[in-house]
Amino acid sequence: MAREAYIPQLLQLFRQYGYDGATLSKISEATGLGKASLYHYFPGGKEDMAHAVLNTLEHWFDAQALVPLRQTGSLRERLRAMGQKLYEAYEGGSQPCLYAILMTASTRDAFSDRVAQLMMSLVAAIAKAFEEEGYTPEASRRKGEDAAMMIQGALVLSQVLRTVAYLLERLRNYPKSS
């Protein structure tokens, strides 16, 4: 079994229990691997596992969520395609954002750079799409920030209020007005 095969389960565990709450015992039980085997795949322990998950998420993000922004079609269509990808990834808001989780964990310093990097790439990609449409760099950047804030805010509210309505409404129909 390749190390990559365990990424989905690790992601699920971190999302469900948080970084600190996803103990090696839980991970061992969920993967069916003994603790020693986990260290065989991830010599750096839990931090190593989280970084491996981030590797996969970063790749997915660039290859799936952001790719519509670089394609042809109207700005509205492209943003909508991105929203649809995010909607699916977060399962309509029933799944939390791992990046937000890692920022509240006891070891957040170990991940903050990568989290910031990804968030900036989201803001920049959306801003670029607006710029191509004739918006000023300043206005485009603000559009990117607004979108990122809306996404994160929708994810937080979906978790807190235990309803998928927020993302469902906002991301499926994003953007309401561009």
CB of 105 vs its own copies, minimal distance in Å: 6
Measured CA distances, 73 to 30, 62, 81, 82, 85 (Å): 43, 19, 10, 13, 16
CB of 17 vs DNA, minimal distance in Å: 10
Site for DNA in 14-73 (CB under 7 A): 20, 22-25, 32-37, 39-41, 43, 45-47
With CB under 5 to 8 Å by kind, the binding choice for 81 among its own copies, DNA, none is none
Among all chains, which residue has been given the structure tokens 């365990």? 6
CA atoms lying within 13 Å on the CB side of residue 21: 11
With CB under 5 to 8 Å by kind, the binding choice for 39 among DNA, its own copies, none is DNA
Give residues with Cβ within 8 angstroms of 53, minimum separation 6.
7, 10, 11, 14, 98
Binding site for DNA (CB under 7 A): 1, 20, 22-25, 32-37, 39-41, 43, 45-47
